[in-house]
Structure 1
């Protein structure tokens, strides 16, 4: 009798653990399209802000940077939520992937901030400092691209986790 009870308890525990893990992964999968949409929109606004800066349209640059930051912040919030699900499921590949996404988003937020500051400095006639900010923004966005490349490598190394 005790053996049957122990087997039944073990089976229920395994079912519960597997169900929780699956549920966490499902939640991550539900958030992924939203995260990607916000990243895509943020990138679109950032690129528009860079073009506006090149056209010496500083107010438009600032406006587009603000929109890019808003999109990136939304993506970051959703990614943090997804990361908590990954940590709960103890799925190390997802944890690593989402940490890279957060690093990429943080870089994009910093790069966007640098570009916005550059536009403000150009408006104030502080061209030398503004050019330094533009250079910083470019370098930070290259860092973001590096995080994206690391994510893509992780996906290629784990095709069973990313469908």
Structure 2
């Protein structure tokens, strides 16, 4: 093989490696740019949910429903972004990061179920079906309690792997 052929092969291999590094870095950057938005949406959803509960307890049903809807929208926003990461960048995350993503997804799914139960309770309280409304509110509370277990689990993952989770980043 001539030295010219070797040079072409060397340049081609170098080019392939460079492209691979750029693609990996860009996917990591994409994930890390998305993580603060995911975190903010979860925090906003939690705040909206808590406000909805306070408002339903004070019998401000329209405001409570609006806060519950907002909580659901925030949770869905985070869930969509996490599913996008899972579907498009799964090869770029390690097992612990994958476990973190799965944990947050399970947490959000439970919180969305709680939002649905809270909205059902609001509907019942609005028409003075207090027994049924209380049952739905109790189910919502149970779901939130279950979701906090996943929240604690993801906090533990971050605490146990500080080098892996830098700030609001997944890498």
- TM-score surpassing 0.5? yes
Contact 1:27 1:85 (C-alpha < 8 Å) held by counterparts: no
Question: Which residue is 1:110 aligned to?
Answer: 113
TM-score (norm. length: structure 1): 0.87
Structure 1 vs Structure 2 CA RMSD: 2.0
Stretches of structure 2 that go unaligned for 5 or more consecutive residues are: 167-171
Question: C-alpha deviations, 1:69-123, integer Å up to 9, x for none?
Answer: 1111111112222223440314322222111111111111111111111010111
Give, in angstroms, the shift of residue 9 of structure 1. 5.5
Distance 2:14 2:159 in 1: 34
Distance 1:110 1:56 in 2: 22
Question: C-alpha deviations, 1:102-149, integer Å up to 9, x for none?
Answer: 111111111111111101011122211111111111110011111111
Question: Which residue is 2:165 aligned to?
Answer: 162
Question: Which residue is 1:131 aligned to?
Answer: 134
Distance 1:62 1:123 in 2: 11
Give, in angstroms, the shift of residue 51 of structure 1. 0.3
Give, in angstroms, the shift of residue 16 of structure 1. 3.7
Contact 1:21 1:89 (C-alpha < 8 Å) held by counterparts: yes
Question: C-alpha deviations, 1:39-95, integer Å up to 9, x for none?
Answer: 121111111100011112222211111111111111111222222344031432222
Pair 1:40–1:20, CA change in 2 (3 A): same
Note the 1:16-95 alignment, pairs <5 A: 16-95=19-98
Question: Which residue is 2:169 aligned to?
Answer: none
Distance 1:97 1:137 in 2: 24
- Which protein shows a greater Rg? 2
TM-score (norm. length: structure 2): 0.84
2:99 pairs with 96, 112, 115, which one? 96
1:121 pairs with 119, 124, 128, which one? 124
1:142 pairs with 141, 145, 156, which one? 145
